[in-house]
Amino acid sequence: MRIRLTDSPPRVAAATRVVFLYEGRDPAAGSPAAWTSGVRAAVRATGFTGKEKELAAGGPPGRDFLLCGLGKAPASAARWRSALRKAVRQALERPGRPIVLAFGAGLTEDAFRALLPQIALADYAFDRYKSSRSPGRGAGRVIVVPPPGVSARSLAGAVREAEAIAEAVRWVRDVGNTPGNDLGPAELAGEARALCKRGRISFRVLDKKAIERERMGGLLGVNAGSERPPVFLVGEYAPPRPKGTAVLVGKGITFDTGGISLKPAPSMGEMKYDMMGAATVFGCLAAAKASALPVRLIALAPVTENMPGGSAQRPGDILRMRNGKTVEVDNTDAEGRLILGDALSYAEKFSPDVLLDFATLTGAVLIALGHECAAVMTDDADLARALEAAGEATGERIWRLPLWPEYRENIRSEWADMKNTGGRAAGTINAGIFLKEFVPKGVPWAHIDVAGVAHFEKEQSGWPPGASGFGVALTLEFLKKRFPAPAAG
């Protein structure tokens, strides 16, 4: 949805007026002044109390309101995500009517800025495989009234950025929700190429022969059991006079059976989401270009399936990675770190000032952190703090786990430089310790495990079912602070 900001509710006939209210003695007290009397009438007529997830419609003739409850103040990012999506979905059931969203007291300007991408995404639905489309998908423009004390004019730049983020997240969600029969390595490469072409972003694909020339033993090993050849995707946004270079690496397993170490059948269908890291970094690339960030940004994505074919790699095999280190394959279902290791090594070609990787890497991260946040691992305390701050600002939270050298013993191998697993204990950390072996020397690096937040079976923490697009807003916020634009004038 496109956003039009205005400082006061417009006089629009037959509009669907949506107001977000906190639970309290007088829920209407927080509504915009121009709407207070009408909202109070609607509250009395419907018995609305403002409880979380409560929706009610009513009001004076010709001035009906959709009342959306937020629960006790203040509302978390999760509550706002859920409330916005629910309210807009309800409003879209009245086709042809303008939608006006009004935000009353209780929101700071920074908190409201963080909500803007969620407003633009509130009508998202993945209905490509449905016989009929969801009502109002791509419904056009929504009129938004900021909270008191926040000027619509001051937010013009924030709206443009929010719409850029939302457009990128829609793409990330769409490719993430596409099933494996329609999205193999070649198809993901095609989607990324089209995205970059629309944004006039440099893009190239390394095919299997080029991957072999780069000696990417991890990517080739994981791909060995699949009939679909691997690809390695490279996208680059290079603005004039960049303030620095950032490289983003994303895991791109378009479907993960576990290989010879076969996963159990229940929920294996969710493994179409194992390419969300790759989708995220290309979404970040598109959003950065649309927002004209002053940073050279490179997105790298090793892409393959992990299948149990007759030529598949076996537990006990030893691979030689791009940087020359050898890895004993202890478990073929620990494949993501193998392809990421090659990609992290490849990143040295770009002399990055900072290197981030995103991956649905471990089931263990769900045991540690659940679905509330992603895990971040880095030896750079300043980088960790910057990423945590960006997560808090955008509602895409992350939590730091240690990378102490003592954990290195967990992946020690008798036959190679390391194993690709380290047992059940500290499973997420062991994966981070493994990846650290392939980071170019001296480059600030962080690994972000998004396995618990990249997709959901049902609504979770305000995120919709399916692919979430988690990480795009967080990364854009981080890059803005890390590579600030020159002051105007």
pLDDT of residue 296: 98
Contact yes or no for 67/56 (Cβ under 8 A) = yes
Contact yes or no for 378/447 (Cβ under 8 A) = yes
* β-bridge mates for residue 249, sequence order: 300, 357
Decide if pLDDT at 359 tops 80.
yes
Q: Express each pLDDT in 231-266 by its tens digit.
A: 999 999 999 999 999 999 999 999 999 999 999 999
Q: Express each pLDDT in 278-305 by its tens digit.
A: 999 999 999 999 999 999 999 999 999 9
**Mean pLDDT, residues 20-39 taken together:** 86
Assign residue 310 a region (left: φ > 0; alpha: ψ between -120 and 50; beta: otherwise): alpha
Best CATH choice for the domain 2-147 from the list 3.30.420.40, 3.40.50.880, 3.40.220.10, 3.40.640.10: 3.40.220.10
pLDDT of residue 161: 96
Q: Express each pLDDT in 428-477 by its tens digit.
A: 999 999 999 999 999 999 999 999 999 999 999 899 999 999 999 999 99
Decide if pLDDT at 412 tops 80.
yes
Contact yes or no for 269/378 (Cβ under 8 A) = no
Return the half-sphere exposure (C-beta side, CA atoms, 13 A cut-off) of residue 320: 4
Q: Is 243 a known active-site residue?
A: no
Give the sign of the dihedral formed by CA 440, CA 382, CA 372, CA 113.
negative
pTM score over 0.75:
yes
User: Which of 94, 160, 263, 325 is flagged as catalytic?
Assistant: 263
Contact yes or no for 17/65 (Cβ under 8 A) = yes
Q: Give, to the nearest 10 degrees, the angle between helix 336-346 and helix 427-436.
A: 30
Domain extent listing, the chain:
2-147, 165-482
Containing 447, the helix (H) or strand (E) segment is strand 445-449
pLDDT of residue 148: 85
User: Which of 337, 397, 419, 482 is flagged as catalytic?
Assistant: 337
pLDDT of residue 95: 79
Domains 2-147 and 165-482 share a fold: no
CA torsion 473-476-477-481 (nearest 10°) is 170
Q: Is 441 a known active-site residue?
A: no
Decide if pLDDT at 488 tops 80.
no
Contact yes or no for 121/170 (Cβ under 8 A) = yes
Q: Which CATH superfamily groups domain 165-482?
A: Zn peptidases (3.40.630.10)
Q: Express each pLDDT in 73-106 by its tens digit.
A: 899 999 999 999 999 999 988 877 889 999 877 7
Assign residue 380 a region (left: φ > 0; alpha: ψ between -120 and 50; beta: otherwise): beta
pLDDT of residue 135: 59
β-pairing verdict for 99-103 and 16-21 = parallel
